[in-house]
Structure 1
Amino acid sequence: RSNHWGDMILVNKLVYVLRHPRRWEVVVFKWPRDTSKNYIKRLVGLPGERLQIWHGDVYVNGKLARKPRWARWALARRVWAQNRDSLREKPPWQVLSGDWDLRKNAYRGGGDNDALISFNLPITDFTPYDDPEAESDDGNPVADTTITFKVKARERGRAGWVVAVLGDPQHHVELRLGVGGATTRLYYNGMLVATSPFHIGADGSHSIEFSFVDMRAEVWVDGKRILRYDINARHQTPDEVWVRLGFEHAEGTLTDISIYRDIFYYPDARSTTGLEGEEVKISKDGFWVLGDNTRSSQDSRVWGEVPTDNMMGRAFVVFWPPWRWQVIK
């Protein structure tokens, strides 16, 4: 959730006495243009670094700044949720193959070969949520996505897989969760890149988190990470985004499906067209901060770096008004 004008926030002023500020933390500081005013933003660039915003991502010293899991979730924007999609008459999924019963709260599918469905709403940096009548503007497609779901599956005649695909035609990852003894596999652009001994038993039900964000694929099952793979490539904004689910040589039920996209940073706070920003050199006594509302935030893209002496501490709790109480991540 975003912070609002009038929120009262607790700030840990001791933490930066004990250690240096860390990337992706939300910090409070004195505004460089008027130190009588306090600002709150997310810390993205550290002293002495070279920083570039390129097609929605942050690059530091020429390398992609990947978010740890806590920051990935802090910056995730929900696109769609199965159990909250009450306004559409039909689920926003297209059947690509196999037999499916797409009821609102439980998708049942399977096939002797493959059975796949594809999410068919646009995933852009402007995403109308839960409103089938809303019109998207000219937002940029965002292929950095995370999907969570619960699955119960069994094989059909032989060992099979639960299948999930994220990405775009240029860069995509495919997860095959083993069913009935099959090995779990991860593919990048059709090439096998990682495996795990995990598999779903005949009566097993599991919570899955599958992400492809910052060119990193991660798989978590029941709160434990079973796979991670980093891809060394620069990712450009795609023309289309793939989110697909299904089964191969298996059948089962998918519930509690939710789709999230990553934040999409712009190099210029006043424009959403130029996607390849110039590299910025941060001084040895400065920090670079960005707002989570990247389309309209007044931040370091407008008024430059924050001097070390202006840093006050890490924001950690909104405590007023009480109905907006939340831990800041």
Structure 2
Amino acid sequence: MAKKKKRRAFPVQDSPAPRRESIAETQVIDADEPGFGVFGYFRNPGVRETIESIVIAILLAFMFKTYEAEAFVIPTGSMAPSLQGQHLDLDCAQCGYRYLTGASRKKAIEKTICPICNYRTEMRSTDPEHKRNSGDRILVNKFIYDFHEPERYDVIVFKYPNNAKQNYIKRLIGLPGDNILIENGDIYLMNGSDEQGWSREISRKPSRKVKQVLIDVDDTKYVSGKLKLLDWPSRWAQWRGGSAWSRDENSNSFAASATDSEQWIRYRNFIPPWSRILSGGLPEEYAKPLNELPPGTLISDNMAYNNASFSGEPVATGYGNHWVGDIGVEVWTEIETSSGELLLDLVEGGVHFTCRFDVATGKATIECDDPRVEFYNDSGVVSKPVAETSLSSGSNQMLMVNADDEIHLWVNGSLVQFDASTYRRDGMPIPKYSKQEPGDAEPAGIGAKNLSMTVSRIKVVRDIYYSSVTLEQDGQSNGNESHLSPSIIHGIMADPESWSEQHALDYFDAKKGQTEPMFKLEFGPGSDRDKDQFFPMGDNSTQSLDARVWDSPNRYVERDMLIGRAIYVYWPHTLNEPVPFFPNFGKMKFIR
């Protein structure tokens, strides 16, 4: 008979740091909440928690008769967006995009910021949609590591080395024997020694995990009605002239007509200055002809989950502090011709990575415009990687991601296997821009040649960014690697003309080019495998108190402190419709 399991909770370990005032604007949303009757009774937090706990206990009692697992509750957001702590689910009042904001702190949340249109919403405690939701309840397989070794990028639960009574959940980044370097948002494994020098190799997340952690940057499905009325420019356009592409402003879809040359629409990361828009209408610089509009702002590690402004603290900015070059584009399209070429393009450090689809055959080819970038497999260098896909005339959905120096591609939901998808390049990428070649100011594009199609929806996404901040080197800098003020950082990101100037280069080069490992992990002495060392980090890196910043000489977790691997979100926060406490089936999922 299985022992009765006790539900555990992770400690409230992460605190969002103060943010500065930004150009986003505030809107007051108010609603009356019933104070009587059954619905008012169910909205009482104590009653709700009690009923949820009873339901969960009954479910787990049946499950534990068959499976030896343990249930945990996540109260904080150090693993967002993969796993949620206490949070708010909000619909942006301007564009309608649903986003999550962390709410694990006891202070009242005053404002949140939409990650798509940057609109700021003022919170009201009387609005039922502004109530805090509990964190994910997860199942942890406690015995999986008795049968096989922990794998890099597993989501693990472990006892905090500085206090074994506390349980933490993070992603496993480093294994015994690894020498870890964190740089440019990526993880590197180093080989060598202090005496003979070190070489590095990037650590690549498996495609299934890359897809799990992607964060939305833009989505053409969600456009502010007010911005439409003001003729706010689309972030996607055929910037350098041409008539092959047209845009339906009502549906925000795009159509390409067949021409015998490549015709492109490209993405510019325009961020609406809401304070100016609400006080004076469309800003002058955005009221110009298409070819005179300002260039785009760099994509950053901004995340809605961290953009809560708390009572008595500086207002969140709605920006991140680091440029993220690992991005992706997802496209929903209706192809109207049986032949022609469809192209997807991503830019990182001024280098174009283009995927060219032959509609007649479904064949996909990866091209790169920089000869110093080499794609390779176990057999050697591959000049132009190729793969067979299911793309054809009719409806198609494609997701192309450049992450960890690898091109990942999904077509109609299936991962595409290229003969080579990994690449190597010299040095660290730095944003590039010129008026003739906008580079990272237009980091994503969709092209067509001899092809008619309609693009109904486009998403721009980004990979998670691992901060290299450590306690010794940076103190409590909230994950800001450059230590510059947010206002200076945001000024650089929004001014492509400055990217080649020294102050901008110093920012982009901050903590780059390191020649030694930051963390060295060891095997246990002799045959004592219980003392093997593992290195965990949170997906929400800039807000995670993980091994990088533990106030301890031991920046690792020993094997005997591992509890198990997180396997399933079995009970996300419940819904209040169609009836109170309705299970949130859409967010139940396996943990990748």
Q: TM-score range by the shorter chain?
A: 0.7 to 0.9
Local SS of the residue matching 2:355? strand
Partner residue of 1:164? 344
List aligned pairs for 1:173-188, cutoff 5 A. 173-180=353-360, 184-188=364-368
**Cα pair 2:349 2:430 within 8 Å, conserved:** no
Please say which of residues 65-74 and 228-237 is displaced more in the overlay. Answer: 228-237
Would the alpha carbon gap of residues 224 and 306 (structure 1) be closer, same or farther in structure 2, given more than 3 Å must change? Answer: closer
Q: State how far apart, in whole Å, the 1-side matches of 2:546 and 2:409 are.
A: 34
**Cα pair 2:389 2:416 within 8 Å, conserved:** no
Local SS of the residue matching 1:30? strand
How big is the shift at 1:155?
5.2
Partner residue of 2:84? 3
Partner residue of 2:325? 143
Alignment of 1:326 onto 2:588: yes
Higher relative contact order (CA 8 A, sep 6+): 1
Alignment of 1:94 onto 2:210: no
Partner residue of 2:431? 238
How big is the shift at 1:302?
1.1
CA deviation map 1:174-224 (0-9, x unaligned): 0111134585321012665123455854x4322212111111113222214
Local SS of the residue matching 2:158? strand
How big is the shift at 1:124?
1.2
Amino-acid identity (%): 25
Instruction: Report the TM-score when normalising by structure 1.
Output: 0.87
Alignment of 1:78 onto 2:317: no
Would the alpha carbon gap of residues 49 and 190 (structure 1) be closer, same or farther in structure 2, given more than 3 Å must change? Answer: closer
Please say which of residues 104-113 and 134-143 is displaced more in the overlay. Answer: 134-143
List aligned pairs for 1:297-316, cutoff 5 A. 297-303=544-550, 304-316=555-567
How big is the shift at 1:259?
1.6
Q: State how far apart, in whole Å, the 1-side matches of 2:342 and 2:164 are.
A: 55
Q: State how far apart, in whole Å, the 2-side matches of 1:258 and 1:244 are.
A: 11
Alignment of 1:27 onto 2:27: no
Local SS of the residue matching 1:315? strand
Local SS of the residue matching 2:221? helix
How big is the shift at 1:261?
0.2
Partner residue of 1:153? 335
Which one of 261, 266, 278 corresponds to residue 462 of structure 2?
261
Structure showing the higher strand proportion among its residues: 1
**Cα pair 1:174 1:187 within 8 Å, conserved:** yes
Local SS of the residue matching 2:211? helix
Would the alpha carbon gap of residues 128 and 29 (structure 1) be closer, same or farther in structure 2, given more than 3 Å must change? Answer: closer
| Structure 1 unaligned regions, length at least 5 | none
Local SS of the residue matching 2:146? helix
**Cα pair 1:140 1:237 within 8 Å, conserved:** no
Q: CA RMSD in A?
A: 2.8
Structure 1 runs (4+) deviating above 6 angstroms are: none
**Cα pair 2:158 2:169 within 8 Å, conserved:** yes
**Cα pair 1:56 1:275 within 8 Å, conserved:** no
Q: State how far apart, in whole Å, the 2-side matches of 1:187 and 1:68 are.
A: 22
**Cα pair 1:82 1:258 within 8 Å, conserved:** yes
Q: State how far apart, in whole Å, the 2-side matches of 1:268 and 1:169 are.
A: 22
Q: State how far apart, in whole Å, the 2-side matches of 1:322 and 1:182 are.
A: 42
Instruction: Report the TM-score when normalising by structure 2.
Output: 0.50
List aligned pairs for 1:43-54, cutoff 5 A. 43-54=172-183
Which one of 90, 95, 119 corresponds to residue 267 of structure 2?
119
Would the alpha carbon gap of residues 253 and 190 (structure 1) be closer, same or farther in structure 2, given more than 3 Å must change? Answer: farther
Would the alpha carbon gap of residues 300 and 102 (structure 1) be closer, same or farther in structure 2, given more than 3 Å must change? Answer: same
How big is the shift at 1:75?
1.9
| Structure 2 unaligned regions, length at least 5 | 1-80, 87-133, 191-199, 270-297, 308-315, 372-382, 433-439, 471-476, 483-509, 524-531, 575-583
Please say which of residues 252-261 and 80-89 is displaced more in the overlay. Answer: 80-89
